[in-house]
Structure 1
Amino acid sequence: MPDLAATLFTSTGLVALAEMGDRTQLLSVLLAARYRRPVPIIAGVAVATLANHALAAWAGAALANWFAGPAFRTLVGLGFLATAAWLLVPDKPDDAPPTPRGGLFLTTLVAFFLAEIGDKTQIATIGLGARFGDAPVDVLAVTLGTTLGMMLANVPAVLLGDRLLARLPLRFLQRLAAVLMAALGLAMVWQAVGPLR
């Protein structure tokens, strides 16, 4: 069973860095710039992320339990390496934010949840769930950590918007996230194939 504090810290740090300049962070900035009501936007981001990442962490843990063994651990490690490469590709906002019909909280929740499907941070959460999700408490630690990481990246983006993004070294942070993700992937591949020698 992995150390819960290490799981929480790793999940938080990786996702916070991976979210820098990501399309969901850009969506947060667009919503904040258009509606200038941070509380429902932050609440929508939090609930959407918690739901999305709980499903992703659980899926990763379930896959790891179903397909245990060196081959699956190697695939997860390679998945981390692919995500590391993907982190080096800058994201752009898809479109203007939708017009709220059910309120800004609901609009943010739905838009953010959908934007997060197949996103780098969701894929990373699946990998973290596969890596650390040995027990339900571990899946919870991954979920809470990745959600905290998303909030660390998105709350300042909502509150400070373009001013914050203009001052942050986004390329450096994306490269740092890619290096950390690659290190985790290489460690998993090494653990999986090392015993085969």
Structure 2
Amino acid sequence: MEAFLISTGIVALAEIGDKTQLLAFILAAKFRKPLPIIVGILVATIANHAFAGALGAWITSLVAPGTMRWVLGLSFIAMAVWTLIPDKMDDDEAALARYGVFGTTLIAFFLAEMGDKTQVATVALAAQYQAVVAVVAGTTLGMMIANVPAVLLGDRIANRIPVRVVHAIAAAIFAVLGIATLLGAGGSLGF
């Protein structure tokens, strides 16, 4: 349950102001069809984060526990710093309209998440907790918590969210996880 809750919270916070949330705003404004956009986000996120979670689990099978503790700890601290760097939207990600609303959303979100901080966080969380299903479910829920309101409410909420404060909170959580991991938290997991 801890893996699920931490994964949900971290990704929901980290996603605010992220390029995929900006993409959700753009798609909502362009197509004005929330249901296929939401389903596209869900399917793309499940596919992307399932891959990331499996990668995280696989990495733990290759790396010695002591080394993994350092890799994870430093990864979480790097995620804290990365979370403080604002994302920018690529024009190419919004230029996929020929695939319809669902197809455009699916392709754009899947590609936008490749190498994105929430995908990297999913890899690290899956390695940390060794609970791929709970982590993927949590990170997917976190993505939906951040992106569904963006689709449904669009520009009405974009300017009301204090993005810097939310990013600072997410960065603090990543930093605490990184420091706790470096100090030996998760020892029961073999790190």
TM-score normalised by structure 1 residue count: 0.91
Q: 2:22 aligns with which of 26, 51, 65?
A: 26
Aligned to 1:38: 34
SS in 1 for 2:182: helix
SS in 2 for 1:90: coil
Aligned to 2:123: 126
CA–CA separation in structure 2 for the residues paired with 1:112 and 1:99: 11
CA–CA separation in structure 2 for the residues paired with 1:55 and 1:11: 15
Q: Aligned letter for 2:80?
A: A
| Matches for 1:96-107 after TM superposition, within 5 Å | 97-107=94-104
**Aligned residues, how many?**
185
Deviation at 1:178, TM superposition (A): 0.2
Q: Aligned letter for 1:69?
A: P
Aligned to 1:153: 146
Aligned to 1:62: 58
| Matches for 1:45-194 after TM superposition, within 5 Å | 45-95=41-91, 97-133=94-130, 138-191=131-184
CA–CA separation in structure 2 for the residues paired with 1:94 and 1:50: 22
Structure 1 runs (4+) greater than 4 angstroms displaced: none
Aligned to 1:6: 2
More off after superposition, 90-99 vs 15-24: 90-99
CA–CA separation in structure 1 for the residues paired with 2:28 and 2:103: 14
Q: Aligned letter for 1:7?
A: A
Q: Percent identity?
A: 54
| Residue ranges of structure 2 left out of the alignment (5+ in a row) | none
Q: Deviations over 1:21-77 (max 9, x none)?
A: 000110110111111111111000000000000110110111012113212211111
CA–CA separation in structure 1 for the residues paired with 2:96 and 2:53: 31
SS in 2 for 1:21: coil
Deviation at 1:101, TM superposition (A): 2.2
Tell me the C-alpha RMSD between the 2 structures: 1.3
Q: Deviations over 1:71-108 (max 9, x none)?
A: 22111110110011000011121116124223210111
TM-score normalised by structure 2 residue count: 0.93
Q: Aligned letter for 1:191?
A: G
| Residue ranges of structure 1 left out of the alignment (5+ in a row) | none
CA–CA separation in structure 1 for the residues paired with 2:96 and 2:46: 23
Q: Aligned letter for 1:73?
A: R
